[in-house]
Amino acid sequence: MFQFSILKSRGDDAQFAALVPLALGSSIRGCARHRRAASRTPFAHRLGRRCLGAPVVLIMMRLALSSGQTLPLDHPAIGYSSLPMTDPVTELSRKIEQGQVQLAFNPVTGYLPAVLKALDIPVESQMAVFSKTSIQAMRIEPSNPRVLFFNDAVVAGWVRGGYLELASHDPRRGMVFYRLDQRPSEYRKRIAAATLESPFTRRKDCLRCHMSATTLGVPGVLLRSVFPSISGVPLNHAPQYDTDGRVPFDKLWGGWYVTGNSGQARHMGNLIAADEAHPESMLEGAPVHLDSLDGKCDPQTRLTPYSDIAALLVFEHQVRIMNLLTRAGWESRMALAGNHSLTQSARAALNELADAMLFVGEAPLQGEIAGTSGFAEAFAARGPRDRDGRSLRDLSLKGRLLRYPCSYMIYSDAFGALPAEARAAVYRRMWKVLSAKLAEDREAIVEILRETKSELPDYFRASRPKT
């Protein structure tokens, strides 16, 4: 259903994946490719054979080597198929069935605006993917892109003429996938029904792509950058990059529209490989900056005229954290259920999570990034803030993503749902990593956490990390 990616030099992470844009899925061919990769190398990034070099591959294999194969969905401590879900889409379904929420149907965009409102997903987060890298690939093209929206726990995707896709992060089970039919006939049938029923259908078949080496062996989301043809088809003879916040800026967003400005810093967004025999020629010339999507696609294909560069950068970071939260949570629950203590592989996954939350190995941003949709302001407004008005949601976009480099995902339900022993291990690792950060960053992060994050260990509140 969804696809995304990220990568970088010093990070200890493997990676979740999504070849091409932040799309909600992968093509049938992509699914087969991910399955083959999973059977060969559990977490090693397939990107290594594509241009990022041996150091990155070795770094990303660290989690692969320590974490083992794909984790079992039906382990008693996991219960992905059997235990109750509490993800946001499940909770919305309950409200619909109880008559507390009704979803309005728009004749053009269907349930999309109503679903975004009900799930508190900001419309400013819209991102547009025009490469054919989704299960709905036949509908996607540069003039009819797939648009994605996200908050801290849910990713929603829609392409005109198709159905609505959702990836919803359950705090304990991980990413859960849903489909919502957009046909007017189905809407009329629901309205005429004698009993209230949720329109969301859970899709376990999405795990064929979304539980693989690229998602760290757990249900997750993928991200990808490709060389797209004029019709949006990824050119198989050209490089393809799984991406995240560790991937060099110039490898990001092939097959995506990007609105905003990155100065002289190059990325692969907004470009098309018109010369299929020489796809690399699309990278020649000056960077292509778009103020809006006007002239690229019809207004009826999207909710706003933007595919904001700031939203794309935040999403690159978040997808990795979501997959790591699931992996670390599953490893920890399985270890505690069997051995009553954290195993080596569980501790390795928790260390990866802590490092990622503190942006270890983050790719530096070149120049000054500026979005166009108001996403940065809307994102920052979600807080929380300390007494000095500082927030982990404050974006920098000058050399790095966040002004205070600690992930806002520390406030997520998934982080809070980690077993107590696992959270303690993450905090210990974070404390150690903080000791190596610049004093200004270190002190600001600790001060913000003290005032905005409950259940911090006592040593976070009583002292400072040793340098």
User: What integer pLDDT is reported at residue 227 of this predicted model?
Assistant: 98
Mean pLDDT of the chain: 86
CA distances to 381, 448, 464 from 467, in Å: 33, 19, 9
User: Is residue 210 predicted with pLDDT exceeding 70?
Assistant: yes
B/e letters for 28-43, b = 16+ CB within 10 Å, e = fewer, are eebbebbeebbeebbb
Average the pLDDT over 290-305 and give the result.
97
- As a whole number, mean pLDDT of residues 39-51 equals 35
pLDDT tier, 214 (very low <50, low <70, confident <90, very high otherwise): confident
pLDDT bin (cut points 50, 70, 90) of residue 305 is very high
pLDDT of residue 285: 83
Contact assessment for residue 16 and residue 222, using Cβ atoms and an 8 Å cutoff: yes
Q: For 413-436, what is the mean pLDDT?
A: 96
Q: What is the pLDDT of residue 2?
A: 56
Residue 190 binned pLDDT confidence (cut-offs 50, 70, 90): confident
Q: How confident is the model at residue 20 (pLDDT cuts 50, 70, 90)?
A: very low
Q: Which of 61-70, 140-149, 370-379, 435-444 has the lowest mean pLDDT?
A: 61-70
Among 364-378, 386-400, 431-445, name the most confident range: 386-400
- The pTM score is 0.85
Q: Are 168 and 89 in contact (CB under 8 A)?
A: yes
345 near 68, Cβ under 8 Å? yes
Q: Taking residues 392-401, what's their average pLDDT? A: 96
pLDDT mean over 302-327? 98
Q: Picking from 187-201, 219-233, 446-460, which range would have the lowest pLDDT averaged per residue?
A: 187-201
Q: What pLDDT is recorded for position 43?
A: 32
What is the pLDDT confidence band of residue 194, given thresholds at 50, 70 and 90?
Answer: low
Per-residue pLDDT band at 193 (split at 50, 70, 90): confident
Residue 405 has pLDDT above 50, yes or no: yes
Per-residue pLDDT averaged across 446-454, rounded? 96
| pLDDT higher than 50, residue 5 | no
pLDDT level of residue 361 (50, 70, 90 thresholds): very high
User: Residue 312 CB: number of other CB atoms within 10 A?
Assistant: 30
So what's the pLDDT on residue 1? 56
CB atoms inside a 10 Å sphere around CB 448:
21
Q: Is it the case that residue 347 has pLDDT exceeding 60?
A: yes
How confident is the model over 33-61, as a mean pLDDT?
A: 37
End-to-end CA distance of the chain: 44
* Better pLDDT: 126 or 186: 126
Q: Structure tokens of 306?
A: 């933007």
Q: And the tokens for 464?
A: 């400072």
Average pLDDT over residues 237-249: 94
- Decide if pLDDT at 290 tops 70: yes
Residue 122 CA to residue 81 CA, distance in Å, equals 30
Please state, as a whole number, how many other Cβ atoms lie within 10 Å of the Cβ of residue 71: 22
pLDDT above 80 (res 266): yes
Amino acid at position 462, single letter: A
pLDDT over 50 at 88, yes or no: yes
- Averaged over 263-290, what is the pLDDT? 94
